[in-house]
């Protein structure tokens, strides 16, 4: 690949169609950092940073990512040539701790760049094999069980192939049980606690375990593996780890310690596509299914998620809902759509991420912009 000549960073503000509540708080808008690369031949490519506004899901935020990309990530990448995108991750790990979401935004853009240069889809470059991916919805915490039942029923009717229900102590058993009773034993339900429980919450954890859930995502602490292993011994429901899996090593630890039986892969959380691929392969070798998580991405981050989710061991529906679930209007053309059976098409015939960034719309939404040059 020729030299990467410039990186333009933009922060855009996007308002969610409706507020999204999880155990750590509610958000009604996203501050999204977008990254645009340009190489010496004039090829352009895009990445999106998964970091949120507050350090609640991860310590990273849109503001820390801005600094990390500008001061530490971009200087390592600009003006250099690479044999391929696989070289970016090790380069960014050398004596540079953490900041996976900041690193991933640039690393993933380099994958898009490589795919565009090769004239192939990002899916194909990553090793994707699926022409379409199956999709679930992540439902935020609702005010009442009845409101949650309504949302879950609508989601199933719309075609979603998995309904993930956010839970926290006090908004859990009664809520999920109501959905199970109304939608029946076959409804593909799961829960995600975003670390809201401890091993002492025995009665809630055991009651949830009896609701026939596909999996229970990240009940315990964001850095924990030991207590998850203890909990997995007590529960029949498979645990799925999200926050705890920040690298290939952590995925290996999870498997060795039996801390969970499923992994939600978010490229931002693990530092990009190369680590996602490595975790995907490790899991495949160990009989661990994976699925693609989401961070309420715009159409750019979603494009990266769709490509990643087309890899063969992404056997469970991902949190990769269509644009209309999140935004009045997305920032890509065409917007991401889902059919009535809950499938999103992978743009396998188009180079790179496979959607056009709507530059006018991005311009209108931009709150700050900075360009770094080689
Ligand atoms: O835990 O998966 C999560 C959103 C923000 C922070 C954490 C999570 C989520 C989601 C959203 O569940 C899934 C989506 O993008 O649709
Ligand atoms: Mg989660």
Q: Which of 18, 136, 319 to mutate to test the pocket of ligand 1 (most atoms within 8 A of CB)?
A: 319
Nearest to 101 by CA among 246, 274, 237: 246
Q: For ligand 1, atom 13, which residue shows the shortest CA distance?
A: 294
Please report the atom of ligand 1 found closest to the CA of residue 242.
1
Please give the positions annotated as active site.
166, 266
Confidence of residue 349 (pLDDT cuts 50, 70, 90): very high
Residue 310 is predicted with a pLDDT of: 98
Residue 301 is predicted with a pLDDT of: 98
Q: Which ligand is nearest to the CA of 263?
A: 2
Confidence of residue 41 (pLDDT cuts 50, 70, 90): very high
Tell me how far apart the alpha carbons of residues 91 and 73 are, in angstroms, rounded to a whole number.
9
Q: Are 163 and 136 in contact (CB under 8 A)?
A: yes
Cβ contacts of residue 277 below 8 Å, gap of 6+? 126, 127, 311
User: From the CB of residue 324, how many other CB atoms can be counted at a distance below 10 Å?
Assistant: 15
Q: Which of 18, 26, 296, 344 to mutate to test the pocket of ligand 1 (most atoms within 8 A of CB)?
A: 296
pTM of the model: 0.98
Confidence of residue 295 (pLDDT cuts 50, 70, 90): very high
Residue 299 is predicted with a pLDDT of: 98
Centroid of ligand 2 to alpha carbon of 241 (angstroms): 8
Centroid of ligand 1 to alpha carbon of 358 (angstroms): 24
Q: What percentage of the chain has pLDDT greater than the value 70?
A: 100
Residue 36 is predicted with a pLDDT of: 98
Mean pLDDT (the chain) is: 98
Please report the atom of ligand 1 found closest to the CA of residue 293.
2
Please report the atom of ligand 1 found closest to the CA of residue 192.
1
Where does ligand 1 bind, in terms of residues with CB under 6 Å? 57, 138, 192, 194, 242, 293-296, 319, 321
Mean pLDDT for the stretch of residues 140-154: 98
Alpha-carbon distances of 157 from 54, 142, 162, 187, rounded to whole Å: 34, 19, 11, 11
Nearest to 248 by CA among 267, 233, 231: 267
Residue 293 is predicted with a pLDDT of: 98
Tens-place pLDDT, residues 83-121: 999 999 999 999 999 999 999 999 999 999 999 999 999
Please report the atom of ligand 1 found closest to the CA of residue 294.
15
Q: Which ligand is nearest to the CA of 305?
A: 1
Q: Are 58 and 51 in contact (CB under 8 A)?
A: yes
Confidence of residue 259 (pLDDT cuts 50, 70, 90): very high
Cβ contacts of residue 28 below 8 Å, gap of 6+? 15, 16, 18, 19, 20
Residue 27 is predicted with a pLDDT of: 95
Centroid of ligand 1 to alpha carbon of 147 (angstroms): 20
Q: Which ligand is nearest to the CA of 323?
A: 1
Confidence of residue 185 (pLDDT cuts 50, 70, 90): very high
């Amino acid at each position: 690949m020729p030299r990467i000549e410039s990186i333009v960073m933009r922060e855009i503000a996007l308002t969610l169609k409706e507020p999204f509540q999880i155990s750590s708080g509610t958000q009604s808008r996203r501050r999204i950092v977008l990254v645009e690369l340009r190489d010496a031949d004039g090829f352009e490519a895009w990445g999106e940073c998964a970091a949120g506004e507050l350090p609640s899901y991860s310590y990273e935020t849109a503001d820390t990512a801005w600094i990390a990309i500008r001061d530490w990530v971009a200087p390592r990448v600009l003006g250099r040539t690479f044999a391929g995108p696989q070289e970016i991750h090790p380069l960014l790990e050398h004596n540079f701790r953490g900041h996976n979401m900041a690193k991933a935004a640039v690393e993933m853009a380099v994958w898009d760049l490589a795919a565009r240069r090769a004239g192939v889809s990002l899916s194909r470059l990553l090793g994707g094999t699926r022409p379409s991916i199956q999709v679930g919805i992540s439902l935020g915490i609702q005010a009442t069980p009845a409101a949650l039942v309504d949302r879950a029923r609508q989601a199933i009717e719309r075609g979603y192939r998995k309904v993930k229900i956010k839970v926290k102590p006090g908004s859990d058993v009664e809520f999920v049980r109501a959905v199970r009773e109304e939608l029946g034993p076959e409804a593909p339900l799961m829960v995600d606690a975003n670390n809201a429980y401890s091993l002492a919450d025995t009665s809630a954890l055991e009651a949830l375990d009896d609701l026939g859930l596909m999996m229970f995502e990240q009940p315990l602490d964001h850095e924990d593996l030991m207590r998850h292993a203890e909990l997995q011994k007590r529960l029949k429901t498979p645990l799925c780890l999200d926050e705890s899996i920040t690298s290939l090593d952590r995925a290996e630890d999870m498997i060795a310690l039996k801390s969970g039986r499923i992994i939600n892969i978010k490229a931002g959380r693990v530092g990009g596509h190369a680590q996602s691929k490595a975790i995907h392969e490790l899991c495949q070798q160990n009989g661990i299914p994976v699925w693609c998580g989401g961070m309420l991405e715009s159409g750019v981050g979603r494009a990266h998620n769709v490509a990643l989710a087309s890899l063969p061991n992404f056997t469970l529906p991902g949190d990769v809902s269509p644009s209309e679930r999140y935004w009045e209007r997305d920032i890509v053309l065409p917007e991401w759509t889902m059919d009535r059976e809950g499938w999103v098409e992978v743009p396998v015939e188009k180079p790179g991420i496979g959607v056009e960034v709507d530059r006018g719309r991005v311009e209108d939404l931009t709150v700050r912009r900075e360009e770094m040059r080689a």
